[in-house]
Structure 1
Amino acid sequence: MSKLVFLDLSRNYFSGNIPRDWTGLQHLEVIDFSNNNVSGEIPSSMCSQLPSLKWLRLSNNNLSGNLESSLQTCRNLSALDLTGNNFSGTIPDCIGENLHTWSYLILKANKFTGNIPHQLCDLSSLQVLDLSQNNISGSIPTCLGGLKQMTAADGWMINLTFSVDLFYPMHIDLNVKGVEYEYIDNIIGLIKKFDLSSNNLSGEIPEEMKNLMALGSLNLSHNHLTGKIQEGIGGLHKLEALDLSSNHLWGLIPSSMTSMTALSKLNLSFNNFSGPIPSANQFPTFDSTSFEGNSRLCGPPLPTLCSSASPNDPAVKAEEDEEDKYGKLWFYASTSLGFIVGYWVVFGSLVIKRSWRHAYFQFLDNMKDKLCFCFWK
């Protein structure tokens, strides 16, 4: 089958390992073995023997191993879907160093650890990044806010090009609004998704995320993120789904979010947000589950009434900055206490002990005499 371009064996009961011999299939561009019972590792010979391979879908199998050696020779891949396997280790740096043509990187529901490699920021064509349901730690790289396909508001066309003009219903499964959908053909090119949920990420949400103006879905839920939602998030006018639930975020919900009129799915539950919930535009359409688990939030759709509806009210501002004020209070208190204790340890002892006081001033007189002698000499 030397002319073979598409190989789709998905949704069967195939088992065993992926074949290591792919010689003779120089035109093969698409491999889809998803939803089977295939095991073992991805053979490194696959990419080296398939120079035209662009689409590799191996999701929902029992594959395992480390990706570093398997992907080292994959130079032309545009899409990789390894969802629901047992891959472990860190995400290899070679993904960003050698594979600049990638449009879809989906490593969901595996056992990856370590940090998000900064090399991913070099994937200028990337429009779907899904690293959810792993054990990835560290902070979110700020450079991910500069991914070109996600920042270009008008650029949406799919980046995959094939050597022959044949109709093939390429498909990919994505959870965009809390529901798993199957996207096919050119519709895939419309999806711009960023999903880092259900990991061990910490730190603040980078302010640079406001630059992802073409993004349609952002999911950072079930991590350990802290800090506030930046006011600039309101510039994500194409965002349809936003999930920041189950983190440690705090402060006011930015009023600029009401300008995100495409937003139809919002989940800010189980954080530490405070103050009134915005009430303009589409916000009244969200139910209470979008905001539950934030004991200091108030206003519809929650039953808790706000003492003042104005975000400029001094009480609301005081509540927003409560953590900062407590931090400053403890800083000043500890500094003052340290000064008092240090002062009285030295000078209090001189007041109480007469002999120490005489010795101290005698020491100062001697030092003065020596300095004067050296000066005049």
Structure 2
Amino acid sequence: MKGKLPQKLKFQELKHVDLRRNHFEGSLPQGFTNAIYVFLQQNLFSGPIPDNISEMTQLTILDVSKNHLTGMIPSTICTMTALEVLSLRENQFSGQLPHCWGDIQLIRALDIASNNLSGQIPSSIGVLSFLEILSLSSNSLSGEIPSSLQNCKSLQSLDLGDNNLSGTLPLWIGNDSVRLWILLLRSNKLRGPIPKKWCNISTLHILDLAENSVSGVIPSCLGNLNSLTNTKNNWMTRASWDFNEQMIMVTKGREMEYSSTLGLVKIINLSSNNLTGEIPLGITNLTALGTLNLSRNYLTGSIPNEIGNMRWLETLDLSNNQLSGPIPDSISLLHSLSHFNVSHNNLVGRIPVGNQMQTLTDASIFQGNPLLCGKPLQSKCPGSDVGSDVPTMQSPDDDFQSELENLLFYCCGYVFGICGVWCTLWKKDAWGKAYFGFFKLV
């Protein structure tokens, strides 16, 4: 449906309003004084949030995401004390966030992602003890991540990506009282090392720190993240409220939006930072991990031979580092691997063959490693036959000895064959007479 809503509708009598996924336009409808649920997402509504929104004192869910709403978020929204879910996602709200969040004690999901907000994250959000989902990504928020968020004892999902946040990675995220499942801080100005305390987050199954200034080594203890070492889907249990969390993440080489399938996603993305040192062996313990992206850092050393233990990997991106040595043959054990990139490193030797590696036919995923050879590259491995990419490991002396052995084998075969014929003719008189008689006739 499309067009403006009829003014004669008696909105004040409605308890449950669901107008989502239409083409309604104009300003937001008013008068939902007795409404409990209001779903207006994915329409064409424009203009500001009306000031009399404070009259909706019974409202528990307000979803106006994916419209064209503008202006500032009014502080009167904090008077809606029954509110449990507030989604203003994908609009054009500007200005700063209100500082009155402590008045909405029951709120469980707060999603204001993909707007034009600026300023700092209010510390008052930290008093929301029932808050489970906080998404403020894709804005222009600045300053440090407030330490008050550690007081949100129910917080399971924190998405602050694509902002201008600064400071070091917070230590408190690794506190025993924090039970994050999702931590997205990508595309900010965060710095410093990855705290080892973060290895204590046993529930964490999505960690995205890409495109920051994170430095130091990758803690080997990340291999202790329990939720990434087993394939059971222990997705967070929540009350049955009508809200689908949405997140944009980079996997399989492209940006993808996840919502209802978030529980199946297991990602570590540390790409485009200043990480140094080797790929820790401990990270290969994450046998349930689906995406590992360590590209565009300054990692050295070799790819661990145990990489083949990560049997559920679909994406493995180690490109644009300083890795050396061969590509382990155990890579061919990754039967789910569909996106693989080791370009622009210092890798050497034969590209492994077999299983899923046979499907990775794009030569660009290996380019920038001049000492790599084998399919799909055009460079043949030394000693391989024409049309073959499996290198022989023999030295020139071994090749000469092999040719000499072949020559002796054929000579001996020829001599024994002739001797066998003459012995037969000598033993059988009739055959001998017939054979030599043939030559006399000729």
Equivalent residue letter for 1:166: W
Residue 15 of structure 1 corresponds to 94
Name the structure where helix makes up a greater proportion of residues. 1
Deviations 1:27-81 (A, max 9, x none): 2110111000111111111121x21101000001010111143424232210111
Matched, 1:32 2:111: yes
Q: Kindly tell me: are residues 246 and 23 of structure 1, through their superposed partners in 2, closer, same or farther at Cα, counting changes over 3 Å?
A: closer
Q: Which moved more, 1:120-129 or 1:284-293?
A: 284-293
Match of 1:155 in 2: 232
Structure 1 unmatched runs, 5+: 316-377
- The letter of the residue matching 1:21 is C
The question of 1:313 aligning with 2:393 is answered: yes
Q: Which residue does the alignment assign to 1:229? A: 303
Question: Is the aligned partner of 1:213 residue 2:287?
Answer: yes
Query: Which residue of 276, 282, 304 maps to 1:202?
Result: 276
Partner of 1:170: 245
Q: CA offsets per residue over residues 347-376 of structure 1, 9 Å max, x none? A: xxxxxxxxxxxxxxxxxxxxxxxxxxxxxx
Partner AA of 2:271 in structure 1: S
Q: Distance in 1 between matches of 2:145 and 2:152?
A: 11
Q: Does 1:44 align with 2:123?
A: yes
CA distance in 2, matches of 1:159, 1:10: 22
AA paired with 2:304?
Q
Residue 372 of structure 2, aligned match among 293, 297, 308: 297
1:130 aligns with 2:208: yes
Q: Residue 225 and residue 311 in structure 1: after superposition, are their counterparts in 2 closer, same or farther (change >3 A)?
A: farther
Alignment of 1:258-297 (within 5 A): 258-286=332-360, 287-297=362-372
Quote the residue 2:175 is aligned against. 97
1:219 and 1:168 map into 2 onto residues whose CA distance is 29
What TM-score results when the alignment is normalised by the length of structure 2? 0.68
Alignment of 1:110-129 (within 5 A): 110-129=188-207
Residue 295 (structure 1) shift: 0.2
For the pair 1:250 / 2:324, whether they are aligned, the reply is yes
Deviation at 1:84, TM superposition (A): 0.7
TM-score when normalising by structure 1: 0.79
SS of the equivalent of 1:67 reads coil
The CA deviation at 1:94 is: 0.6
Distance 1:311 1:207, change over 3 A: farther
Indicate the SS of the match to 2:213.
coil
1:319 corresponds to = none
Check 1:100–1:69 CA distance in 2 against 1; reply closer, same or farther (3 A cut).
closer
Measured at CA, do residues 312 and 128 of structure 1 come closer, stay the same or move farther in structure 2, by a change above 3 Å? farther
Give the Cα separation in 2 of the matches to 1:289 and 1:114: 32
Contact 1:225 1:247 in 2 (8 A): yes
2:133 aligns to what? Answer: 55
Measured after TM superposition, the shift of residue 119 of structure 1 is 1.2
SS of the aligned residue for 2:101 comes to coil
CA RMSD of aligned residues (A): 1.5
1:311 Cα shift?
7.0
The DSSP-based 3-state class of the residue aligned with 1:26 is: coil
Of the structure 1 ranges 93-102 and 140-149, higher mean CA displacement relative to structure 2 is found in 93-102
CA distance in 2, matches of 1:28, 1:192: 27
**8 Å Cα contact 1:54-1:160 kept in structure 2:** no
Percentage of pairs with the same residue: 45
Distance (whole Å) between structure 2 residues aligned to residue 168 and residue 59 of structure 1: 17
How many residues are treated as equivalent by the alignment? 310
Rounded to whole Å, the distance in 1 between the matches of 2:347 and 2:82 is: 58
> Which residue of 148, 151, 154 corresponds with 1:73?
151
Name the CA distance, whole Å, in 2 between partners of 1:74 and 1:168: 19
Where do residues 323-334 of structure 1 align in structure 2 (5 Å cutoff)?
none
Structure 2: distance between partners of 1:9 and 1:99: 29
What is the one-letter code of the residue matched to 1:27?
A: L
With over 3 angstroms needed to count, the CA separation of the structure-2 counterparts of 1:12 and 1:141, relative to structure 1, is same
Residue in structure 2 matched with residue 108 of structure 1 by the alignment:
186
Q: 1:78 to 1:160 in 2, by over 3 A?
A: farther
Conserved 8 A contact 1:44-1:73 = no
Stretches of 4+ aligned residues off by more than 6 angstroms: none
Q: Which amino acid aligns with 1:44?
A: S
Matched residue, 2:41 = none
Maintained 8 Å contact 1:100/1:124: no
Q: Specify the alignment match of 2:258 in structure 1.
A: 183
Letter in 1 for 2:90: R
Give, as a single letter, the amino acid of the residue that structure 2 aligns with 1:38: L
CA distance in 1, matches of 2:178, 2:94: 32
- Aligned pairs for 1:360-375 (under 5 A) are none
Gaps of 5+ in 2: 1-79, 384-388, 396-442
2:102 touches 2:125 (CA, 8 Å); kept in 1?
A: no
C-alpha distance in 2, partners of 1:314/1:53?
Answer: 65
Structure 1 pair 311–105 and aligned structure 2 pair: CA distance change class (3 A) = farther
